[in-house]
Structures are given as C-alpha cells and as structure tokens.
Structure 1
Amino acid sequence: MKNDSIPLGFLIHAGVYLAVVGLCAALALSHDPPRHWFVWVAAGWGIGLGAHALAVRRCRARRPARS
C-alpha cells in the first residue's frame, strides 16, 4: 500500500503561511490609502514554502517502494 498523504509538517507550514499572510494583507489594506507591503511577506515566505514542498517531493522520490 502506497502512502500518498501530505506530511503534517508541510500542512502546518502552509496553514500558518495562509493565516499570517491573510492577516498581514487585511492589516495593510485596511489603511487609507492601502499599503501593499504584505506582498513582500508573501513572496519571501512563499519561497521558503516552495522549498519545503520541493524537499518533501524529493524525499518521497528517494523513498524505496514498499510491498
């Protein structure tokens, strides 16, 4: 049986990313005039999240198949 579930660590990382970027966006856009600094937060952290996703994918590719 092959386990294709997404690792819990990655799910937590993605959830925290969405929550923090969402809160930053709400805070930045609530000002008059709206500020768009949250894009830098999303981009910077997004690079880290993407690297995490690639590491998970690479680790899974190396794992030997189980019978």
Structure 2
Amino acid sequence: MSTPPLSPEQIERIARRRAGAKLGWYLHAVVYLLFNGVFLALSWLGVGHRHWSLYPALGWGLGVVLHGIAVFVLGSGLRERLVERERERLRRAQR
C-alpha cells in the first residue's frame, strides 16, 4: 500500500519535529559533556573517592547513546510505521 504524497504543511510539521528531536539530542550531549567535565575535574582534585566520576559518566553516557539511537537510527520512521499500523487497525475496526 502506497501512502499519498505529503502536503507542504505536513512536510513542514515533520521536518520541525525531526529537527527538534535532533536539537534535543545535541543539547543532551552538550550538557553531558559539561557536567561530566566538572565531575572529572572534581575527581582529579581528590574530592571524594578516586575515579568516582566514571560511574555517572558511564550511566549517563548510556542514556545519551540510547537517546542518539532513538533519534538518528530509529528516527521518526519507526514512529511513523507504528502510527500507520494503528491507523489501519482503526480503519478496519470502523468497517
């Protein structure tokens, strides 16, 4: 089943949503780098147990990686396929 061509308004809405998702990931990555840079500096200065900054960096880093996969690899394509599948189910239920 082919989908009908998108209107300019739909293209604009989708483009803005995708750009917002990418911008959200870039902001997430910058905040991660800034905070973990501070944590690393504090760790090197001997505040607390040695090398404690590794733990938040690894945990938060996993979150940044998963966020990146969701935005750049899966993208909105997965979401759009799921929405289309639900749309078809609803159309069948109405018949």
Could you state the TM-score of these two structures normalised by the residue count of structure 1?
0.74
Identity of aligned pairs, percent? 38
1:53 aligned partner: 68
Larger radius of gyration: 2
SS of match in other structure, 1:7: helix
Aligned to 1:35: 50
Q: CA deviation at 1:7?
A: 1.3
Query: In angstroms, what is the RMSD of aligned CA positions?
Result: 2.3
- Read off the aligned partner of 1:59 and give its amino acid letter: G
Residue 5 of structure 2: aligned partner = none
Aligned pair count reads 57
**Relative contact order (C-alpha < 8 Å, sep 6+): which is higher?**
1
CA shift at 1:31, angstroms? 1.4
The structure that is helix-richer by fraction is 2
Matched, 1:26 2:37: no
Q: Offset at 1:37?
A: 0.5
Cα distance in 2 between the residues matched to 1:10 and 1:25: 22
Query: Residue 12 of structure 1 corresponds to which residue in structure 2?
Result: 27
Query: Where does structure 1 lack aligned partners over 5 or more consecutive residues?
Result: 1-5, 63-67
| AA aligned opposite 2:74 | R
